[in-house]
Amino acid sequence: MSLPPELQSALTRRAFLGRTTQGVGGLALASLLGPAALAAPGPSGALARLPLPQKAKRVIWLSMAGGPSHLETFDPKPKLAAMHGQPMPESFTKGQQLAQLQGQKLTCFGPQHKFAKFGRDQTEICELFPQIGSVLDEICLIRSMTTDAINHDPAHMFMNTGSQIAGRPSMGSWVTYGLGTEAADLPGFVVLTSLGKGGQNQPIAARQWSSGFLPSKHQGVQLRSKGDPVLYLSNPPGVSRDSQGGDVDAIAKLNLHRERFVADPEVATRVAQYEMAFKMQASVPQLMDVKDEDPKTLALYGCQPGDGSFAANCLLARRLAERGVRFIQLYHKDWDHHGGVKDGVALKAAEIDRACMALITDLKRRGLLDSTLIVWAGEFGRTPMSQGNGRDHHNKAMTVWMAGGGIRGGLVHGSTDELGYAAVDKVATVHDLHATMLHQLGVDHDAFRFKFQGLDAKLTGVEPCKVIKDILA
């Protein structure tokens, strides 16, 4: 007989209760209960069986916040260079949604940097990214991505949740809800942010890593480079680890004593969560402390310990991946080049080029690249038309790249038109990207659902979408 899921979940908690009411104090619980017990309904998340072979066990999602120009990064457009300064042909733009350029005179704006050839197939990418170029055979460029939204906030929401309406779960929450986590003493979904030096640091709402209508334990936990890495992680001043442990132990003892009278399964969960919090207080600082890293590794990434840079976050991403964290999302801001796109992208390239190469290289040499899916994506692309000496937001074309996790390296998938205005060949949507990511994790996106407001809500939404099969290894 199959039990309704809510009853199954209650049963799991009760089973858990049975094990914790044997009069054991808090500190001893750690050895009795694996992280599995915390991640009810089961160690493997809501999906007891994966319908598809799991190519990737975890995701590192590099969010280039602000909307990188595809025309100065990964999508060469010689024709646009030739038409620099000429009116944008109306056939491209008539009746189209633009952001700040809406209703303005539209002029072609040639790529501001040269492109160079890299990799086995001599693929052209912007010469500002030689380090990424050096590992281009690990990378699949998708030059035909599109999105629905055209302002930062809704576009981030769409990229993260598949919807432009607030309150939906972020993809990291979906993934940890479905697959659980392998990290014993760390959250399953971790977020890191870094600022660019160009001053175009658009705001990012915490809703971008919210668990929405999924259980709160799947929300992304932000790891910060300064102050407490996790909010409220440090003991109050004057409280040692021992005395904190003593208090946690006393709290557990009193809670479990009371539990005998109230028979409320929440009590045992509470005890376990205190235990988990106490463990995190030790494990997170260990994670953040990179002094055990080989100086050569630091040199590979090009960062100093604790400098809060994107490169430092890439190194932390690798450490999180090693510890079994399921979904690791890095935001690097400052890509919003309405003006000064030439200098702006050069600055960004200096901040991310080596770090991206290092992450791929480091994961590969540790044998983790095959099981880690890396995604590099902004929230939208930018117009081939000028906005002064910059480019406006644009949702009809952008380049996204993926590496590892069963993706074919050295591939270019899809293309935009000759001016880079719209994706035309093998057009891919955000929902396709999500479906592909889930597919690599062993999840059938269409069957992966959660009841919300009577709907079988899915990360990939209600419109049909597809796994991008061409890019799979």
Report 189-218 residues binding other proteins (CB under 8 A).
Answer: 193, 201-207, 210, 213, 215-217
H or E segment and range at residue 123? strand 123-126
Which of 251, 290, 346, 427 is in the footprint of other proteins by CB under 8 A?
Answer: 251
Residue closer to other proteins (CB basis): 140 or 204: 204
CB of 396: closest distance to other proteins in angstroms?
Answer: 12
Binding-site member from 235, 283, 297, 389 for other proteins (CB under 8 A)? 235
Q: Tokens standing for 38?
A: 């915390």
Determine the length of the chain.
473
Q: How many CB atoms lie within 10 A of CB 279?
A: 15
Q: Residues of 419-442 as b/e, b for ≥16 C-beta within 10 angstroms?
A: bbbbbeeebbbbbbbbbbbbbbbb
Site for other proteins in 431-470 (CB under 8 A): 446-447, 449, 453-456, 462
Q: In the range 36-75, which residues lie near other proteins by CB under 8 A?
A: 38
Residue 26 corresponds to which tokens in the numbers above? 């808090």
Q: How far is the CB of 37 from other proteins (least distance, A)?
A: 13
Contact with other proteins (CB under 8 A) among 7, 22, 94, 291: 7
Among 99, 312, 330, 403, indicate the residue that binds other proteins (CB under 8 A).
99
Taking the complex as a whole, the smallest distance from the CB of residue 154 to other proteins amounts, in Å, to 8
For 101, 339, 407, 417, the CA distances from 470, given in Å and listed in that order, are 35, 36, 9, 20
- Alpha-carbon distance of 438 to 113, in angstroms, equals 35
Closest CA to 397 of 380, 413, 409, 385: 380
**x/- map, 125-144, other proteins, by CB under 8 A:** --------------------
Cis peptide before 464 (omega within 30 of 0): no
> Which residues in 286-345 contact other proteins (CB under 8 A)?
338
Which is nearer to other proteins, 48 or 254 (by Cβ)? Answer: 254
Subset of residues 169 to 188 that bind other proteins, contact rule: CB under 8 A: none
- Contacts (CB under 8 A) with other proteins, residues 362-401: 392-393
Are 378 and 67 within 8 A, CB to CB? yes
How far is Cα 290 from Cα 77, in angstroms, rounded to an integer? 41
Task: Name the residue type at position 432.
Answer: D
* Pair 191, 223: CB distance under 8 Å: yes
What is the largest distance, in Å, between two alpha-carbon atoms of the chain?
A: 80
Does 282 contact other proteins by CB under 8 A?
A: no
Nearer to other proteins, 94 or 469 (CB): 94
- 90 scored as a contact of other proteins (CB under 8 A): no
Instruction: Give the residue among 415, 409, 467, 418 at the shortest CA–CA distance from 438.
Output: 467
Under rule CB under 8 A, how many of the chain's residues touch other proteins? 93
Residue whose CB is less far from other proteins, 53 or 227: 227
| CB 152 to other proteins: min, Å | 6
For other proteins, which is the closer residue by CB, 120 or 262? 262
The single residue among 53, 238, 295, 367 that binds other proteins, judged by CB under 8 A, is: 238
